[in-house]
């Protein structure tokens, strides 16, 4: 019986904040592995700058290459349509029936969980691991859990330390300034972006 972390996202592009989030959760929750799942169409936002799912999948694969316990799933990309998390967790449970899933989420998404489609199915299939972005987030996350998510039956683990703040938007806006963003993104992912001429008007 394995403990498996799941991180969903647009990953547009994947950056070191996402990798650190996974490493941090793996360590704190004693996970055996972490699966990154790039969305096909995110249910909650329309991003004009969203590059194709194939590029986002390729960049995820490049970024996890050096981490033995990290992998990338194309389950949402193959399914197409809106990438609802309850459907993804249902599909993963069929593939890995004995695993315990930890759905890893940052603060912003955690605070909207009860509005996602079929949240009760999400809570039945996974423990939610919430990671604050800064120290003031922690109290807000705890209160949201106690008042909203706990009564809905969610099992939640709120981790208490923030990870490095990195934003995909900042990376996209400064894509021509490698010196500025080099500590935020894997060098091979950066080279993939340049080679494929991504994030340029």
Stretch that binds ligand NAP, among 16-24, 28-36, 62-70, 140-148 (CB under 6 A): 16-24
Give the residue carrying structure tokens 């592009």.
13
Among 19, 22, 31, 84, binds ligand NAP (CB under 6 A): 84
Task: Spell out the long-range contacts of 108-113 with Cβ–Cβ below 8 A and sequence spacing 24 or more.
Answer: 108/133, 110/141, 110/144, 111/140, 111/141, 111/144, 112/44, 113/149, 113/154
Give the residue carrying structure tokens 């604050």.
132
Q: Decide: 148 and 116 in contact? Cβ < 8 Å.
A: no
**Binding status of residue 102 toward ligand NAP by CB under 6 A:** no
Backbone angles phi and psi of 86, in degrees to 5: -65, -35
Build a one-symbol-per-residue string for 34-63: x at contacts with ligand NAP by CB under 6 A, - elsewhere: -----x--xxx-------------------
**Binding status of residue 26 toward ligand NAP by CB under 6 A:** no
**Binding status of residue 166 toward ligand NAP by CB under 6 A:** yes
Q: Which residues bind ligand NAP (CB under 6 A)?
A: 8-11, 17-18, 21, 39, 42-44, 83-85, 105-109, 116-117, 131, 133, 163, 165-166
């Amino acid at each position: 019986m394995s403990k498996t972390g799941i991180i969903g996202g647009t990953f547009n592009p994947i950056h070191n904040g996402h990798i650190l989030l996974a490493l941090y959760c793996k360590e704190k929750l004693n996970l055996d592995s972490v699966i990154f799942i790039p969305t096909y169409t995110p249910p909650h936002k329309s991003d004009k700058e969203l590059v194709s799912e194939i590029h986002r999948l390729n960049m995820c694969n490049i970024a996890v290459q050096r981490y033995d316990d990290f992998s990338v799933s194309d389950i949402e990309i193959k399914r197409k349509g809106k990438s609802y998390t309850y459907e993804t967790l249902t599909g993963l449970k069929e593939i890995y029936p004995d695993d315990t899933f930890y759905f890893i989420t940052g603060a912003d998404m955690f605070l909207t969980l009860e509005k996602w489609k079929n949240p009760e199915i999400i809570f039945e299939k996974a423990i939610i691991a919430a990671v604050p972005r800064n120290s003031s987030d922690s109290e807000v996350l705890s209160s949201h859990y106690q008042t909203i998510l706990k009564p809905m039956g969610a099992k939640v683990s709120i981790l208490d330390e923030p990870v490095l703040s990195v934003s995909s938007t900042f990376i996209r806006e400064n894509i021509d300034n490698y010196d500025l963003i080099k500590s935020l993104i894997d060098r091979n992912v950066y080279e993939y972006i340049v080679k494929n001429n991504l994030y340029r008007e």
